[in-house]
């Protein structure tokens, strides 16, 4: 769970549980939900950085950093799923191929939205434009997260053994 070595899953305290599946402390699906909640908080934080009382003349460094945090965190999370989680689901549960196809399609769409957000931030456009981009990312991301949770959480919670081996840092949002 914690890295390419395939060592045991993480416990709630963030330490490794080397006992394997019989002593597994956390359910993978529940952890995925918690990770999604942390990513939702990053987007909320970025949206909070769009302060209409400041005016729309320029983007402050703080807002730029918040928007980059959204792009980095969400992009990293999706790359981890694409590289490790989805191939595991396809291998272990081929009947969910259409679900994974849809999730991967969502990742591509969200990737394009994140690239647009990065572009408008880099260009220093009006805060209202940045807010619209954040809201677009948030809307698609929320729909994606809900679908992913509905389709995969129970499956991950019931995973035999350690489940998929995910990249280092996956459970920490990037």
Task: Report the chain's mean pLDDT, rounded to a whole number.
Answer: 78
Query: Which residue do the tokens 């969400």 mark?
Result: 74
For 12, phi then psi, to 5°, come to -60, -30
100: confidence class by pLDDT, cuts 50, 70, 90: very high
Is CATH 1.20.120 the right assignment for the domain spanning 27-172?
yes
Question: Mean pLDDT over residues 141-147, rounded?
Answer: 97
- Of 107, 111, 95, 103, the closest CA to residue 149 belongs to 103
pTM, to two decimals: 0.77
Question: Mean pLDDT over residues 4-26, rounded?
Answer: 37
Cβ atoms of residues 88 and 160 within 8 Å:
no
């Amino acid at each position: 769970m914690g890295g390419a070595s395939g060592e045991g899953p993480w416990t709630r305290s963030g330490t490794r549980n080397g006992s394997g599946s019989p002593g597994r402390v956390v359910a993978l699906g529940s952890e995925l939900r918690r990770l999604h909640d942390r990513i939702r908080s990053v987007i909320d934080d970025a949206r909070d950085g769009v302060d209409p009382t400041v005016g729309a003349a320029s983007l402050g460094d703080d807002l730029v950093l918040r928007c980059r945090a959204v792009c980095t965190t969400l992009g990293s999370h999706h790359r981890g799923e694409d590289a490790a989680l989805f191939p595991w689901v396809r291998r272990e549960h081929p009947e969910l191929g259409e679900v994974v196809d849809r999730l991967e399609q969502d990742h591509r769409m969200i990737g394009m939205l994140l690239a647009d957000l990065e572009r408008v931030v880099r260009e220093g456009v009006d805060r209202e434009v940045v807010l619209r981009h954040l809201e677009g990312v948030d809307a698609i991301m929320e729909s994606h997260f809900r679908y992913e949770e509905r389709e995969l959480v129970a499956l991950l919670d019931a995973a035999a053994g350690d489940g998929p081996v995910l990249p280092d840092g996956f459970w920490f949002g990037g």
